Amino acid sequence: MYQVLREITNPLLIIGIAVALRLVPHPANFAPIGAMALFGGAYLNKKYALAVPLLAMLVSDFFIGFHNTMGFVYASFLLIGILGLWLRRHKNVRNVIGAAFVSSILFFLITNFGVWLVSNIYPKTAAGLIECYVVAIPFFRNTLLGDLFYVGLFFFGYEAVLRFIKSYGQNLHKNRG
C-alpha cells in the first residue's frame, strides 16, 4: 500500500506545480525553477532527473518567450540538477539548505556572465563583467529567497507527505491485524 501511495505522490507532480507557478505573475527572480531542478535531480529517476526539469523549462518558455541568454539559463539549471543528483545520497536539512544557496549562486554567476557576454550593455572587459555582477545584486536577493522558499516547500513538503503516507500505511496495517 505504501509503495502505491508513494508512486501516486510522484515528484513529477511537484515539477508540474513549479511550471504552473512560473507562469503566474511573481516578483522578478522569485521563481521555483532552481528548486525544481534541484528537486528533480534529488528525487526523479536518474534517467529523467536532468531532462524533465529542462523540458519543463522549455514548455513554459514557449508561453513566456525566448531570449538570447537562454543557453546560460539552461546551463545553470543543468548544473543545479547535477547538484541535485549529488544531494539524493546526501539529503539532510543542512545539505538541502546549502544546495539551495549554491543553486542561487550558480544561477547568478552563470546567467549574468551570459548577459555580459552576449549583450552590448557592458564593455567586454573585466570591469564590464564586474559592473554586470554588481548591477545584478538586487536580483540575487529574490533568486535566493525564491530558491530557499521553494526548496523548503518542495523538499520538506514532499518528505512530510511521504512520512504521512508511510505512517498511514503502518496504522492501516496494524488496525487490520
- Give residue-wise pLDDT tens across range 58-114: 888 888 888 899 999 999 999 999 999 999 999 999 999 999 999 999 999 999 999
Burial of 104 (0-12, 13-18, 19+ CB in 10 A): buried
Rounding to the nearest 10 degrees, give the CA dihedral for residues 59, 37, 105, 85: -150
* Mean pLDDT, rounded, for 30-36: 88
Cell of 147: 530558491
164 or 7: which leads in pLDDT: 164
Q: What pLDDT shows up at residue 170?
A: 65
Check residue 60 and give its pLDDT: 83
**DSSP 8-state class, residue 165:** H
Which pLDDT score is estimated for 27?
Answer: 85
| pLDDT bucket at 171, cuts 50 / 70 / 90 | low
CB-based contacts of 99, cutoff 8 Å, min separation 6: 38, 83, 84, 86, 87, 151
User: Cα dihedral sign for 147, 25, 141, 133?
Assistant: positive
Domains along the chain with CATH numbers: 2-176 (1.10.1760)
- 129 pLDDT above the threshold of 70: yes
Q: What is the pLDDT of residues 41-55, one digit of tens each?
A: 998 888 778 887 888
| Cell numbers standing for residue 122 | 557592458
With a pLDDT cut of 70, the percent of the chain lying above it is 88
Whole-prediction pTM: 0.84
Handedness of CA 143, 15, 162, 98 (dihedral sign): negative
pLDDT, mean over the chain: 87
Percent of the chain predicted with pLDDT > 90: 53
CA atoms within 13 Å, Cβ hemisphere of 169: 12
pLDDT of the residue at 115: 97
What is the model's pLDDT at position 8?
Answer: 46
| Top-confidence range, 17-26, 131-140, 152-161 | 131-140
- Spatial distance between the Cα atoms of 168 and 77, rounded to a whole number of angstroms: 35
Q: What's the one-letter identity of residue 108?
A: F
